[in-house]
Structure 1
Amino acid sequence: MLQVNNIGLRYGAAQALRGVSLAAEPGKVTCVLGRNGVGKTSLLRALVGQHPVSEGSIAFEGRDITRLPTAERARGGVAIVPQGREIFPLLTVEENLKTGFAPLPRVSRTVPEDVFTLFPVLKTMLGRRGGDLSGGQQQQLAIGRALVMRPRLLLLDEPTEGIQPSIIKDIGRAISYLRDLGDMAIVLVEQYLDFAKELGDRFVVMDRGAVVYACSRGEMDEAALKRALAI
């Protein structure tokens, strides 16, 4: 269980997050929605420890991780698929996947078969450089690299951005599969409401660094959700 309580985040004098709270549970997808520049990526940076929060707290599996460094959070089971993928273009697909070994004990340093089940194209391209892959294939590689870490909390920052429709469907199926395993909490940052609606169990809409609407799937008022997105 991830529990975020009233966190704030500043970049110098600019306040990127204001009193943001949300929760994510194993076997469920929490979707964070909103336009560009409203604080969605800043939220994920706070969750992985890339930027310290100025107030509030973050707990994961009953442990306060608010002040833990990024590496320690990764060892604790937090993985992120960043916006823009950030794969290593000069490393092969196999080498990119193995960069996910860093937080793992030596005995666990293998690539899970699920990675190739979800994204079979990666198995056929193990020797190709990451920079030679298409944008969609690079996104699959970035997700695969995160899964190598055996995360219990998976953070996805706009995985559909700039991706062709066929691979968007593959990514949607992968997220559904991971959710249904029941042992991983997923936070999905997304701009496309239709994609989020297919996958989400809980929805959070952000604007100007704050949460302006939140609901579960069962409580959703789609008109209110769309109004919040239009703010």
Structure 2
Amino acid sequence: MLEVSDLDLHYGAAQALRSVSMKALPGRITCVLGRNGVGKSSLLRALVGQQPASQGRIVWNGIDFAGLSAFERARRGVGYVPQGREIFPLLTVEENLKTGYAPLRRSERSIPNDVFSLFPVLADMLRRRGGDLSGGQQQQLAIGRAMVTRPTLLILDEPTEGIQPSIIKDIGRAIEYLRDKGNIAIVLVEQYFDFARKLADDFYVMDRGQIVMSGTRESMAEDEVRRSMSI
């Protein structure tokens, strides 16, 4: 289980997160919602170790992440799909996927079959350069690369941004498949409310660096959430 407690984060004198607390459980999709600039991506950067928290705790399966580098967190099961995908445009699809080997033991260094069953286009384009893929295909590649790391905590930052509707459906099915495996906690940041509403088991709404609303999908007051995301 992921437990975040009273997390603050600063960029110089600017405070991006204010006493953020949340949980994410294996076998569930936890959606973090909010408008642009409210701190969602800062929260994810703190979780994966790209930006040090000013105070507060991040505990994953009983391990306190304070002081652990991004690489050390990846070795402990944290997979990350960043906003903007950040694939390597001059590497082939296969080479991009194999960059996910970095935190793995030698015995684990293979591409799982479910990467290609979820995203068949990647099997068809293994020898193509990443930069030659469409935006939607690059997003599938970024998710596939994260899957290669065998994550037990998968963090996705706006995977539907700029993606055509048909591939959004494929990405949604892939996230549901990973959730249903039962051993992966998924944290999904989204602005596309309908996509998040369909997938969320639990949700948190952020505004001005704080959690202003939270609950389960069943308890979600849809009108209030939509309003908070549009103000």
TM-score (norm 1): 0.98
Q: Does 1:30 align with 2:30?
A: yes
Q: Write out per-residue CA displacement over residues 86-138 of structure 1, whole angstroms, 9 at most, x where no aligned residue.
A: 00000000000000000000000000001001000000100000000000000
The equivalent residue for 1:52 is: 52
The residue identity in structure 1 corresponding to 2:113 is: E
Quote the RMSD (CA, aligned, Å): 0.7
Q: Does the residue aligned with 2:214 lie in a helix, a strand or coil? A: strand
The equivalent residue for 1:8 is: 8
Q: Write out per-residue CA displacement over residues 204-230 of structure 1, whole angstroms, 9 at most, x where no aligned residue.
A: 111111111111112212222223223
Q: Does 1:202 align with 2:202?
A: yes
How is 1:1-231 mapped onto 2 (pairs within 5 angstroms)?
1-231=1-231
Q: Does the residue aligned with 1:156 lie in a helix, a strand or coil? A: strand
Q: Distance in 1 between matches of 2:22 and 2:48?
A: 15
Q: Distance in 2 between matches of 1:129 and 1:150?
A: 24
Q: Write out per-residue CA displacement over residues 136-183 of structure 1, whole angstroms, 9 at most, x where no aligned residue.
A: 000000000000000000000000000000000000000010001101
TM-score (norm 2): 0.98
The answer to whether the Cα contact below 8 Å between 1:213 and 1:228 also exists between their aligned partners in 2 is no
Q: Distance in 2 between matches of 1:203 and 1:190?
A: 11
The residue identity in structure 1 corresponding to 2:133 is: L
Q: Distance in 1 between matches of 2:79 and 2:13?
A: 29
Runs of 5+ unmatched residues, structure 1: none
Identity of aligned residues (%): 69
Q: Distance in 2 between matches of 1:55 and 1:218?
A: 32
The alignment covers a number of residue pairs equal to 231
